[in-house]
């Protein structure tokens, strides 16, 4: 019986895809291994949002070849959809499966012979949401990611994701209710994820434009019709953070007080060149509304540095804007040219040392804001979901070190007594920082 391991790269939606791949392989009679060294089949479920993501996959392929030379290597996911020939030409790769054929991966690897084979199709021909069995969302995590939306209809000038994920498509609402009900019987917290989560339901036919389903309506159904103790929403574009959604998040104790809204830049001009659908004033309004309704909520953002043509004054405008908002953490990315995107064709590319220096500046700003937020939590009682090894995650996205042994997968009220290097700790636990 062949043993396999699946390694996932990238976003929460990719993690959910990887769990579905694993379930498909198990259903074919394969056995899961703990790591590539004990596997005859290694599946790499890839990301391609940056060149660094591509390079990481190549490094893993080389390591698998070196450490487990007899293993078959199958590469799938976004990098596979974007550059299948490039991956197929890498030594050791047996099969490349694009996102277009990812649902068939378990059938493909069951075939007796393949080498250098590519299975890929037109991702824009995908019109249905491929809903995996609910157990596939869980994997072995305490907090399962349930992907309820895939694809993206936006065309940001720097982003390759729409071309490797296809058009926006959503899981049917009844199916989501069914899946959350099943997950809630085993897990305390369920994370709803998607490539463009805030667009859930917008493409459903049979309803007028004003009557089309919205994410807030789906969440109300989940609160009313399932026993889930806590829902957490992954990244939502700022234009989809409606008053209705934010008010619902604030009113329900069963929704984590955690807002993650991609920003990319705080410069009006840069956002325009990025083809983003909002401007700094719109973004600031949404964050202010979130904090007014949920004073202690986590507020996170994705920010990009060194976008083509980003002048020093524009970077400083962005830094000042970020400084002015109550962010509790940032994911700061250095701009990376993605072949096939308009931004990659720009003649105004920023030198890499300048990009990296701007990234360093914003990461320092992020660390300072995060420290301020963690300090503000000391002395408060936070609702957490317990994880493994004496750790927990608060509803407002703080890593919590617990004093004693708590069973994992429980909701608990924990008083915060101090700081750790990257989180907080329960009163009575030994603080790392003062």
Tell me the two tokens of residue 274. 């990025």
The band of 109, judged by pLDDT with boundaries at 50, 70 and 90, is confident
Quick check: is 309 in a domain? Answer: no
Which residue in the block uniquely carries the two structure tokens 């959604």? Answer: 245
Q: How does pLDDT run across 265-281, given as a tens digit for each residue?
A: 999 999 999 999 999 99
pLDDT value at position 418?
A: 95
Using one digit for the tens of pLDDT, what is the confidence trace for 340-355?
999 999 999 999 999 9
What pLDDT does 7 receive? 94
Under the banding of pLDDT at 50, 70 and 90, the label for residue 134 is low
Give the CATH number for residue 58.
3.40.50.12160
Residue 207 lies in a domain: no
The alpha carbon dihedral of 233, 239, 244, 246 has a sign of positive
Write out pLDDT tens, residues 110-128: 776 666 689 999 999 887 7
The pLDDT of residue 177 is 97
Average pLDDT over residues 406-418: 94
d(CA 143, CA 345): 40
- pLDDT of 135 above 60: no
Q: What is the dihedral of CA 94, 96, 101, 104, to 10 degrees?
A: 20
Q: How far apart are CA 390 and CA 235, in angstroms?
A: 27
CB 261 within 8 A of CB 301: yes
The residues with which 426 forms a beta bridge, in sequence order, are: 416
Nearest one of 52, 30, 51 to 41, comparing CA atoms = 30
Question: What's residue 36's pLDDT?
Answer: 85
| pLDDT surpasses 80 at 388 | yes
Residue 104 lies in a domain: yes
In the predicted model, what is the mean pLDDT of the chain? 92
Q: How far is 44 from 76, CA to CA, in rounded Å?
A: 6
Higher pLDDT, 160 or 207: 160
DSSP secondary structure letter of residue 132: P
pLDDT (mean) for 334-345: 95
Q: Point out the domain boundary residue: 73, 104, 121.
A: 121
Does residue 349 lie within any of the structural domains?
no
In a domain, 367, yes or no: no
- 61 has pLDDT over 70: yes
In a domain, 82, yes or no: yes
Distance (Å, whole) CA 60 – CA 240: 36
End residue of a domain, out of 121, 138, 163: 121
Does the pLDDT at position 212 exceed 70?
Answer: no
Q: Which of 98, 121, 144 is the last residue of a domain?
A: 121
Residues 271/279, Cβ–Cβ less than 8 Å? yes
| pLDDT of the residue at 19 | 86
User: Can you tell me the mean pLDDT for 12-25?
Assistant: 88
**pLDDT surpasses 60 at 137:** no
User: 352-377 and 312-324 are packed helices; what angle lies between their axes, rounded to 10 degrees?
Assistant: 10
Q: Write the CB contacts of 86 (distance below 8 Å, at least 6 apart in sequence).
A: none
How high is the pLDDT of residue 322?
Answer: 98
The single-letter DSSP state of residue 197 is G
Mean pLDDT of the 351-374 span: 98
Q: Provide the 10 A C-beta neighbour count for residue 417.
A: 17
pLDDT at 12: 83
| Share above pLDDT 70 across residues of the chain, in percent, rounded to a whole number | 93
pLDDT at residue 138 above 60?
no
- 108 assigned to some structural domain: yes
The region that residue 255 occupies, defined by phi over 0 for left and psi between -120 and 50 for alpha, beta otherwise, is beta
pLDDT at residue 115 in the model: 67
- For range 129-148, the mean pLDDT: 70
State the pLDDT at residue 181. Answer: 97
- The string of DSSP letters for 225-254 reads H---SEEEE----GGG--HHHHHHHHH-TT
* 338 pLDDT higher than 60: yes
> What length is written for the chain?
434
Provide the pLDDT for residue 434.
52
165 located within any domain: no
Q: How confident is the model at residue 38 (pLDDT cuts 50, 70, 90)?
A: confident
How many domains does the chain contain in total?
2
For residues 316 and 325, the answer to whether their CB atoms sit within 8 Å is: no
Q: Which domain holds residue 94?
A: 3-121
Give the chain's radius of gyration (CA, Å).
22
Reported for 405-410, long-range contacts at CB under 8 A and 24+ positions apart, including other chains, are 408/142, 409/142, 409/186, 409/187, 409/188, 409/385, 410/188, 410/385, 410/386
**pLDDT at 313 > cutoff 60:** yes
The whole model's pTM is what?
A: 0.91
| Alpha carbon separation from 381 to 261, 324, 408, 430, 434 (Å, rounded) | 26, 27, 19, 17, 18
Q: Which residue has the higher pLDDT, 128 or 13?
A: 13
């Amino acid at each position: 019986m062949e043993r396999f391991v699946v390694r996932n790269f990238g976003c929460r939606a990719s993690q959910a895809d990887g769990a579905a791949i694993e379930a498909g392989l198990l259903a074919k009679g394969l056995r899961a291994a703990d790591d590539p060294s004990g596997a005859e089949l290694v599946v790499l479920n890839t990301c391609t949002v940056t060149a660094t993501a591509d390079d990481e996959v190549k490094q893993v392929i080389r390591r698998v070849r070196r450490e487990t030379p007899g293993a078959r290597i199958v590469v799938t996911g976004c990098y596979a959809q974007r550059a299948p020939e490039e991956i197929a030409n890498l030594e050791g790769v047996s099969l490349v499966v694009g996102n277009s054929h990812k649902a068939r991966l378990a059938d493909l690897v069951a075939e007796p012979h393949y080498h250098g084979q590519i299975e890929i199709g037109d991702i824009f021909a995908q019109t249905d949401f491929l809903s995996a069995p609910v157990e596939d969302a869980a994997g072995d995590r305490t907090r399962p990611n349930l992907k309820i939306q895939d694809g993206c209809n936006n065309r940001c000038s720097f982003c390759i994701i729409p071309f490797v994920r296809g058009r926006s498509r959503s899981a049917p609402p009844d199916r989501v209710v069914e899946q959350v009900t099943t997950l809630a019987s085993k897990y305390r917290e369920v994370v709803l994820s998607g490539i463009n989560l805030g667009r859930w339901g917008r493409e459903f036919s049979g309803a007028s434009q004003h009557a089309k389903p919205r994410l807030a309506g789906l969440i109300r159904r989940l609160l009313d019709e399932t026993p889930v103790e806590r829902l957490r929403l992954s990244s939502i574009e700022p234009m989809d953070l409606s008053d209705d959604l934010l008010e619902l998040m604030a009113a329900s104790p069963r929704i984590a007080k955690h807002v993650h809204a991609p920003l990319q830049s705080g410069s009006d001009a840069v956002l325009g060149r990025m083809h983003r659908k909002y401007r700094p004033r719109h973004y600031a309004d949404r964050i202010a509304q979130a904090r007014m309704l949920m004073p202690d909520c986590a507020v996170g953002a994705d920010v990009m540095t060194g976008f083509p043509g980003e002048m020093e004054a524009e970077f400083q405008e962005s830094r000042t804007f970020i400084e002015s908002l109550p962010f509790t953490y940032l994911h700061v990315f250095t701009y990376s040219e993605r072949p096939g995107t308009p931004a990659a064709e720009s003649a105004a590319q920023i030198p890499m040392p300048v990009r990296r220096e701007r990234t360093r500046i914003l990461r320092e700003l992020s660390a300072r804001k995060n420290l301020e937020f963690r300090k503000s939590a000391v002395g408060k009682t936070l609702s957490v979901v317990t994880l493994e090894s004496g750790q927990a995650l608060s509803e407002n996205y703080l890593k919590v070190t617990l004093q004693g042994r708590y069973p994992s997968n429980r909701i608990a009220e924990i008083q915060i007594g101090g700081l750790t290097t990257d989180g907080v700790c329960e009163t009575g636990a030994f603080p790392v920082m003062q």
